[in-house]
């Protein structure tokens, strides 16, 4: 599983991955346009997308279930 997560970082650096990330961000932002003062919980490997609400939410928390290995996402 760790190799799959490491592969995600490489995938999101490709042109296709950049488009996929933009589409995911757009869909998430359309679904939850504004969350001022709210607590936001991301399940799984949600850390890159929690940045969408970091400036306005009271807090953003990422939780990875125990059956998935923890992975530190690069800060970009």
At 42-51, the pLDDT tens digits run 998 888 899 9
Q: Is residue 25 part of a domain?
A: yes
Residue 24 domain-assigned (yes or no): yes
Count of structural domains within the chain? 1
Q: Does the global pTM surpass 0.85?
A: no
State the Cα–Cα distance between residues 59 and 75, nearest whole angstrom.
Answer: 18
- d(CA 2, CA 36) in angstroms, rounded, equals 34
Place of tokens 């599983």: 1
Question: Does residue 20 fall inside a structural domain?
Answer: yes
pLDDT band per the 50, 70, 90 thresholds, residue 1:
very low
pLDDT per residue as tens digits for the range 12-32: 889 999 999 999 999 999 999
Domain extent for 28: 2-63
Residue 48 to residue 76: CA distance in whole angstroms:
9
Residue 55 pairs with which residues in a beta bridge?
A: none
State residue 44's pLDDT score.
Answer: 84
Residue 74 lies in a domain: no
**Above 70 in pLDDT, residue 2?**
no
């Amino acid at each position: 599983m760790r190799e799959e997560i490491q592969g995600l970082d490489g995938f999101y650096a490709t042109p296709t991955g950049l488009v996929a990330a933009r589409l995911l961000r757009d869909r998430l932002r359309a679904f939850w346009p504004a969350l001022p003062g709210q607590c936001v919980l991301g399940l799984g490997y949600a850390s890159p997308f929690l940045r969408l609400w970091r400036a306005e939410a009271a807090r953003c928390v990422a939780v990875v279930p125990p059956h998935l290995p923890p992975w530190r996402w690069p800060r970009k």
